[in-house]
């Protein structure tokens, strides 16, 4: 019922809405009909793609001094696409919208190419705008602590060892900055407990790194081991209720339940705890290079996104330290 009502709501533009030859305009209308029908694209996508194509055909009419026909579309060069993107960029479009516009033009020309009316090989010579990197969504310190606190799940019908296990896993994400896959890859023989205050991780790209594990995190791991009913020697540190390796999905579901109970946003995920580790460490004066090593980032530029997350602290530090800040 939902998809039917949505398709009825899609109002496709007529061929005359496109500043191009009548034949190209008719194909543009057919293309949008194809997206709405066979491809079952959303109304939002169809509206956006139709708008992007109108801009492109209008640009060609101005750029080439004539309405675009099939011959003009077959003769398109990479320089034409670059000029179109540059014009739209100058008009204020951001990278995300430019990427969508490029995808819309490519989709239309591919639609025509199947009929022998255009070509798409020119896209291989056009560098797409860089996709904007979204900033990590860190939790507030209090919220991060609540997610790790075993008492936050006191009302759940879960065995105490399971609650202790999940708390230990999440503590490794927030207290050590591990990825969830890295935390679950730790072997029992290498568990950070007692005097063992570091753990060696095999991270992305097969690179190993050794990271310190603070005492509160070690205590949570010890508590889990004290309660765990399975013999873990020779296997993974964290196991499921049947004794097999723990699935990341189980940890994600645990956080999802806590998120609802604590009234946290959807962005409060296991991975958000890793982001929170880096953001909070930077906020307390942590060195960017050190944070890079702790997170296992190959490039410092990847770690630098946390400086944007913690702008408040950086601006405050500038205000306090710079002689001309006032």
Question: Please, which pLDDT band fits residue 239 given cuts at 50, 70 and 90?
Answer: very high
DSSP 318: H
Contact (Cβ atoms closer than 8 angstroms) between residue 179 and residue 170 = no
Please say if 179 is a catalytic residue. yes
CA distance 167 to 60: 59
Write down the pLDDT at residue 203. 76
Q: Give the contacts of 178 (CB within 8 A, at least 6 positions apart).
A: 172, 201, 211, 274
- pLDDT: which is higher, 269 or 134: 269
Question: Please, which pLDDT band fits residue 69 given cuts at 50, 70 and 90?
Answer: very high
Stretch 113-136: mean pLDDT, rounded?
A: 81
Contact (Cβ atoms closer than 8 angstroms) between residue 282 and residue 294 = no
* Alpha carbon 168 to its chain's center: 25
Considering the chain, what percentage of its residues have pLDDT values greater than 70?
84
Contact (Cβ atoms closer than 8 angstroms) between residue 270 and residue 180 = yes
Question: Please, which pLDDT band fits residue 4 given cuts at 50, 70 and 90?
Answer: very low
Question: Please, which pLDDT band fits residue 319 given cuts at 50, 70 and 90?
Answer: low
Q: What are phi and psi of 195, to 5 degrees?
A: -85, -5
Write down the pLDDT at residue 234. 84
Q: Closest by alpha carbon to 120, among 87, 79, 77?
A: 77
CA-based diameter of the chain, in Å? 78
The mean-pLDDT minimum among 48-62, 66-80, 197-211 falls in: 197-211
Contact (Cβ atoms closer than 8 angstroms) between residue 198 and residue 210 = yes
For 141-321, CATH number? 1.10.443.10
Please say if 306 is a catalytic residue. yes
Catalytic annotation, pick one of 54, 88, 179, 259: 179
pLDDT, tens only, 6-38: 334 556 777 788 999 999 999 999 999 998 888
Phi/psi region, residue 65 (left: phi>0; alpha: psi -120 to 50; beta: rest), is left
Question: Please, which pLDDT band fits residue 245 given cuts at 50, 70 and 90?
Answer: very high
Domain ranges in the chain are 2-125, 141-321
Considering the domain delimited by 2-125, tell me its CATH architecture: Orthogonal Bundle (1.10)
Above 60 in pLDDT, residue 266?
yes
Bridge partners (DSSP) listed for residue 212? 198
Stretch 246-256: mean pLDDT, rounded?
A: 92
Helix, strand and coil percent figures for the chain, each rounded to 5: 60, 5, 35
Write down the pLDDT at residue 139. 85
Write down the pLDDT at residue 27. 95
Please say if 44 is a catalytic residue. no
Contact (Cβ atoms closer than 8 angstroms) between residue 160 and residue 112 = no
Torsion of CA 159, 160, 162, 166, to 10 degrees: 140
Please say if 271 is a catalytic residue. yes
Above 80 in pLDDT, residue 283?
no
Please say if 280 is a catalytic residue. no
Question: Please, which pLDDT band fits residue 150 given cuts at 50, 70 and 90?
Answer: confident
| Number of C-beta neighbours around residue 25 at 10 A | 21
Please say if 198 is a catalytic residue. no
Question: Please, which pLDDT band fits residue 320 given cuts at 50, 70 and 90?
Answer: low
Structure tokens at 150: 């075993």
Catalytic annotation, pick one of 54, 165, 274, 280: 274
Q: Closest by alpha carbon to 200, among 229, 230, 176?
A: 176
pLDDT, tens only, 171-221: 999 988 898 999 999 999 999 999 998 888 887 767 888 888 989 999 999
């Amino acid at each position: 019922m939902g998809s039917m009502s949505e398709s009825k709501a899609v109002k496709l533009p007529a061929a005359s809405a496109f500043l191009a030859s009548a034949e190209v305009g008719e194909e543009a209308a057919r293309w949008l009909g194809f997206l709405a029908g066979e491809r079952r694209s959303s109304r939002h996508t169809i509206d956006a793609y139709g708008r992007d194509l109108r801009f492109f055909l209008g640009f060609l009419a101005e750029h080439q001094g004539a309405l675009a026909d099939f011959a003009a579309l077959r003769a398109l060069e990479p320089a034409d696409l670059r000029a179109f993107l540059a014009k739209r960029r100058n008009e204020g479009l951001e990278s995300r919208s430019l990427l969508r516009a490029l995808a819309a033009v490519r989709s239309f020309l591919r639609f025509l190419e199947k009929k022998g009316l255009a070509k798409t090989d020119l896209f291989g010579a056009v560098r797409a705008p860089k996709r904007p990197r979204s900033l990590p969504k860190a939790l507030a310190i209090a919220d991060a602590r609540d997610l790790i606190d075993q008492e936050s799940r006191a009302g759940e019908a879960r065995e105490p060892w399971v609650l202790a296990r999940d708390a230990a896993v999440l503590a490794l994400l927030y207290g050590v900055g591990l990825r969830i896959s890295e935390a679950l890859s730790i072997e029992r023989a290498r568990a950070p407990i007692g005097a063992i205050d570091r753990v060696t991780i095999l991270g992305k790209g097969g690179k190993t790194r050794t990271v310190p594990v603070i005492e509160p995190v070690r205590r949570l791991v010890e508590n889990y081991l004290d309660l765990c009913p399975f013999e873990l020697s020779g296997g993974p540190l964290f196991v499921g209720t049947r004794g097999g390796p723990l699935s990341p999905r189980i940890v994600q579901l645990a956080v999802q339940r806590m998120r609802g109970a604590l009234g946290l946003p959807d962005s409060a995920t296991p991975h958000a705890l890793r982001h929170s580790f880096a953001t909070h460490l930077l906020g307390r004066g942590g060195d960017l290079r050190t944070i890079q090593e702790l997170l296992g980032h190959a490039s410092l530029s990847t770690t630098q996104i946390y400086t944007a997350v913690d702008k408040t602290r950086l601006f405050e530090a500038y205000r306090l330290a710079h002689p001309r800040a006032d």
